[in-house]
Amino acid sequence: MAKETLLQVRDLHTWFELRKWGFARVGYVRAVDGVTFNLDRGETVAVVGESGCGKSTLAKTILGLHKPTRGEIYFDGKPLHKLDTAGMKWYRSQVGYVQQDPYGAVPPFMNVYRILEEPLIINGVKDPKEREQRIRRALEDVKLAPVEDYLPKFPHQLSGGQQQRLVIARAIILEPQLIVADEPVSMLDASVRVEILQLLGRIQREYNLGIIYITHDLATVSYFSQRIFVMYGAKIVEQAVTKDLVKNPRHPYTRALLAAISDPDAANAHTFKEVPPGEPPSLLKPPPGCRFHPRCPEAIAGVCNVQEPPQVVVDEGHQTACWLYDKDGQAEAEAV
Amino acid sequence: MSANDFFKVENLRLYFRTRNGSVQAVDNVSFRLGEGRTMTVLGESGCGKSSLAKAILRLLPRNVEVYQGRIVLGELDTMSLSDERFRKEVRWTKIALVPQAAQNALNPVLKVADQIAEPLLVHERGITKDAALQKAREAARIVGIPLDFLERYPFELSGGMRQRVTIAMALVTEPELVVLDEPTSALDVLTQANVMNVLKRIKQEFGTTFILITHDIGTASELSDEVAVMYAGQMVEQAPAEKFYTTPRHPYSQKLMASVPTLREEKDLEFIPGQPPSLINPPKGCRFAERCPSRFDKCSADPPVVQVEPDQFVKCWLYEEGEDG
């Protein structure tokens, strides 16, 4: 099956201006700082990183909720920055958003029917019969059945898992081509998480959707996505096919992240974890060179703290931004 | 056997009064824990695990309907004490708590050193401010807070550092038992690993007894000697960690383990269909029966607690009278 590119992100920067007294500009928070990737139709990529690494800002920029400072996003070949108001409306109907917190994502004063009807009304589905049909189909898709029981319910009458399914139903009701899911299961219990992820996976296959799955939980990622992007300090430091990344991580940060995850095993109680010292960098004044170098156990003095690392292709479909894998950089290090 | 009976809870009940009826948040929970050991209480939201922590520390809201049972720490039956004596003699001096999300509840106008010293000033009579601050510095050192952070305010600290402050606040009075309620659930993966390292070191160096309350089965394994599983207000299984993580016995524990994604080994994930029952008028029989794949006739009656091995207890009809798995 020929792969078809759905979303192209080129050198994307989203910076937030910081002002003092309301007008004096004091700097920028570089929340997304040079991100480039492609997403195919029907593909799931996971964006993994710690809080404050810019992954949610990346999601919101793709959704069109933040205006990029620099760089372009192409959706289905169309450049986002050239779309007019009507074009943006079309784009928003093509991209569904599954929020992190199902409890806060739905208005408490609307019942299920109204919540799902609203996007249809806004996007000009005038026939009430068609609206009802589509609402029913969306609810069946997310397994809120029997549909009759759920239509009149208000969010507080639903459990966390059911609310998240409602949020997913709302995200797919306009039949989008892309879904951005920002930590869709982090607020849910373990036994429900798998259910929601499997549900998302099934809907994706059925409608051939692209999914951008934003999360900090590497363990669920390996079950749910084809590719992983690891973000650190507002940049993607490593991207690879899921299995490859989990088995053969290259970037020292990815390795630290993987090592920090505990699989349920009683033997864990007898060993200590190795954790790189320090904290993630400030995005207001990121360190020069590689942003991980102050914490990196393998940092090459004179290289990593001076120059930004290049994107190195280490394997087929496996890229990392690290001097360790750059031949020139290595030579330089040996010379030092 | 006294080493095994360091902390004992027997038939503990905590019901709350609400407009719709009484909520049986903790229903007939019994367990015992040896000195210097760590028990993890696993369970999903609403299963009563935080209420269990509150019941142990007697930090109760006003709408308590039933609060009974026995809680014995060493030789001291804490349930027999009056509220005032409990406050003076047990809370924080003998049993301390790291409450859920406490790292976001630090007093914003207190410096870290004063914040850590506060439990001493409140709970230890006659201690001078200087002595308290000295002890606070010591506690900060133990949990790995750099000394120059002591003069900072909470907003100047990262999440992981703030969580260390709350742990230091629990340790500063040198309690015999520390209850940790979801100490790492709001933290990032690397920070989580850091905090678990700190707890592990404290456990090894000082032999502190911990009760760790969490829903994160993977992280829990970092600290567990014993594992107890709660479901709908009841304790359904208690076992040593090695046994629990390899062969959980209760169908709920088994399903729960099957739903945990693992990084290093590939397995098919399962989920548990349905929802836990309401704790207002819960079902008379086994509370898990409705979702249980191995349900049979007997499950409509309340299952007994069966001792399947000398140190493993399961509240399930499947294991009754040698019908061992």
pLDDT per residue over A174-212, tens digit each? 999 999 999 898 888 888 888 899 999 999 999 999 999
Question: How many alpha carbons fall within 13 Å on the CB side of residue A84?
Answer: 1
d(CA A136, CA B192): 42
Q: Which of residues 148-207 of B touch A (CB under 8 A)?
A: 158-159, 188-194, 196-197, 200-201
At A3-29, the pLDDT tens digits run: 789 999 999 999 998 888 877 888 899
Tell me which residue of B4, B15, B28, B32 sits closest to B236, measured CA to CA: B28
Q: Are strands A235-241 and A227-232 parallel, antiparallel or unpaired?
A: antiparallel
**Average pLDDT value for residue range A248-268:** 92
Contact B221 A273 (CB under 8 A): no
Kindly state whether B290 is in contact with chain A, defined as any CB-CB distance less than 8 angstroms: no
Q: What 3-state DSSP class applies to B188?
A: coil
Distance of CA A210 to the CA centre of its chain: 12
**How far are the Cα atoms of A17, A54, B132 from residue A9, in angstroms, in the given order?**
22, 15, 56
d(CA B259, CA A291): 36
Cβ–Cβ pairs < 8 A, chains A and B? 119
H helical segments located in chain A? 55-62, 85-94, 102-105, 112-122, 128-141, 147-150, 160-172, 190-207, 218-224, 242-247, 252-260, 327-335
Contact B245 A193 (CB under 8 A): no
Tell me which residue of A256, A263, A75, A309 sits closest to A179, measured CA to CA: A75
Burial class of residue A154 in the structure, from the number of CB atoms within 10 Å of its CB (0-12 exposed, 13-18 middle, 19+ buried): middle
Supply the pLDDT for residue A224: 86
Supply the pLDDT for residue A102: 85
Contacts of A244 in chain B (CB under 8 A): none
At A86-114, the pLDDT tens digits run: 999 999 999 999 988 888 899 999 999 99
Are B161 and B187 within one domain? no
Contact A273 B272 (CB under 8 A): no
pTM for the model stands at 0.88
* Residue A332: pLDDT band with limits 50, 70, 90: very low
Are B13 and B121 within one domain? no
**How far are the Cα atoms of A219, B26, B221 from residue B226, in angstroms, in the given order?**
24, 19, 9
CATH of the domain at B308: 3.40.50.300
Q: How far is B79 from chain A (nearest CA, A)?
A: 32
Q: What 3-state DSSP class applies to B37?
A: coil
Supply the pLDDT for residue B325: 42
Are B204 and B241 within one domain? yes
Closest residue to B221, CB basis, from A222, A260, A266 = A266
Contact A263 B262 (CB under 8 A): yes
d(CA B264, CA A258): 9
Residue of B nearest to A269 (CA): B222
Mean pLDDT over the full length of chain B: 91
Contacts of B259 in chain A (CB under 8 A): 190-191, 193-194
d(CA B142, CA B160): 15
Contact B245 A273 (CB under 8 A): no
Domains (range + CATH), chain A: 5-247 (3.40.50.300)
Q: Which of residues 114-173 of A touch B (CB under 8 A)?
A: 159-161
Are B34 and B80 within one domain? yes
Contact A190 B265 (CB under 8 A): no
Q: Supply φ then ψ for residue A80, to 5 degrees.
A: -65, -40
Are B155 and B186 within one domain? no
Q: How far is B127 from chain A (nearest CA, A)?
A: 35
Q: What angle do CA B160, B166, B172 make, to 5 degrees?
A: 130
Residue of B nearest to A270 (CA): B222
Neighbour tally for B45: CB within 10 Å: 14
Contact B200 A223 (CB under 8 A): no
Q: How far is B301 from chain A (nearest CA, A)?
A: 25
N-terminal to C-terminal alpha carbon distance within chain A: 49
Interface test with B, best of A265, A292, A295 (most B CBs within 10 A): A265
Are B256 and B288 within one domain? yes
Contact A266 B194 (CB under 8 A): no
Q: Say how many domains are in chain B.
A: 2
Least confident of A217-221, A285-289, B8-12, B197-201: A217-221
Distance of CA B73 to the CA centre of its chain: 15
- Provide the domain limits for residue B251: 2-94+175-322
Distance of CA A78 to the CA centre of its chain: 21
**How far are the Cα atoms of A202, A232, B86, B209 from residue B156, in angstroms, in the given order?**
44, 22, 35, 31
Tell me which residue of B261, B56, B93, B249 sits closest to B171, measured CA to CA: B93
* Residue A131: pLDDT band with limits 50, 70, 90: very high
B209's enclosing H/E stretch is: strand B209-214
Q: Supply φ then ψ for residue A288, to 5 degrees.
A: -70, 160
Contacts of B241 in chain A (CB under 8 A): 266, 269
Contact A190 B44 (CB under 8 A): yes
A286's enclosing H/E stretch is: none
Are B142 and B190 within one domain? no
Kindly state whether A276 is in contact with chain B, defined as any CB-CB distance less than 8 angstroms: yes
Are B300 and B170 within one domain? no
Q: How far is A119 from chain B (nearest CA, A)?
A: 29
d(CA B215, CA B186): 12
Q: In the numeric block, which tokens belong to residue B82?
A: 């009056």
Kindly state whether B210 is in contact with chain A, defined as any CB-CB distance less than 8 angstroms: no
Q: State which of B174, B201, B232 marks the end of a domain.
A: B174
Q: How far is A19 from chain B (nearest CA, A)?
A: 20
Are B277 and B189 within one domain? yes
- Ranges of chain B with pLDDT below 50: 1, 323-325
Contact B189 A260 (CB under 8 A): yes
Residue of B nearest to A161 (CA): B275
B96's enclosing H/E stretch is: strand B95-98
Contact A193 B223 (CB under 8 A): no
Contact B263 A261 (CB under 8 A): yes
Q: Supply φ then ψ for residue B212, to 5 degrees.
A: -105, 120
User: Do A209 and A141 form a contact (C-beta atoms < 8 A)?
Assistant: no
Burial class of residue B3 in the structure, from the number of CB atoms within 10 Å of its CB (0-12 exposed, 13-18 middle, 19+ buried): exposed
Are B193 and B264 within one domain? yes
Kindly state whether B20 is in contact with chain A, defined as any CB-CB distance less than 8 angstroms: no
ipTM: 0.84
Q: State which of B174, B203, B219 marks the end of a domain.
A: B174
Interface test with A, best of B263, B265, B267 (most A CBs within 10 A): B263
**How far are the Cα atoms of A181, A300, A325 from residue A336, in angstroms, in the given order?**
45, 9, 17
Contacts of B221 in chain A (CB under 8 A): 262-266, 268-269
Q: How far is A276 from chain B (nearest CA, A)?
A: 8
Q: In the numeric block, which tokens belong to residue A137?
A: 């189909």
Are B120 and B258 within one domain? no
Which one-letter DSSP state was computed for residue A104?
A: H
Q: State which of B116, B148, B174 marks the end of a domain.
A: B174
d(CA B54, CA B43): 16
Q: What percent of chain B has pLDDT over 70?
A: 98
Q: How far is A247 from chain B (nearest CA, A)?
A: 8
**How far are the Cα atoms of A216, A263, A282, B236, B238 from residue B224, in angstroms, in the given order?**
24, 13, 35, 17, 12
Supply the pLDDT for residue B1: 41
Closest residue to B221, CB basis, from A160, A190, A262 = A262
Residues with Cβ within 8 Å of residue B190, at least 6 apart in sequence: A50, A256, A257, A260, A275, A276
Closest residue to B256, CB basis, from A191, A217, A268 = A191
Q: How far is A83 from chain B (nearest CA, A)?
A: 37
Are B159 and B228 within one domain? no
**How far are the Cα atoms of A81, A95, A180, B296 from residue A92, in angstroms, in the given order?**
13, 5, 11, 51
Kindly state whether B220 is in contact with chain A, defined as any CB-CB distance less than 8 angstroms: yes
Supply the pLDDT for residue A280: 87
Please report the sign of the dihedral spanned by the C-alpha atoms of residue B27, residue B30, residue B36, residue B40.
Answer: negative
Q: In the numeric block, which tokens belong to residue B258?
A: 């099957």
Q: In the numeric block, which tokens belong to residue A76?
A: 């289905």
Q: How far is A287 from chain B (nearest CA, A)?
A: 18
Angle between helices A252-260 and B189-206 (to 10 degrees): 50
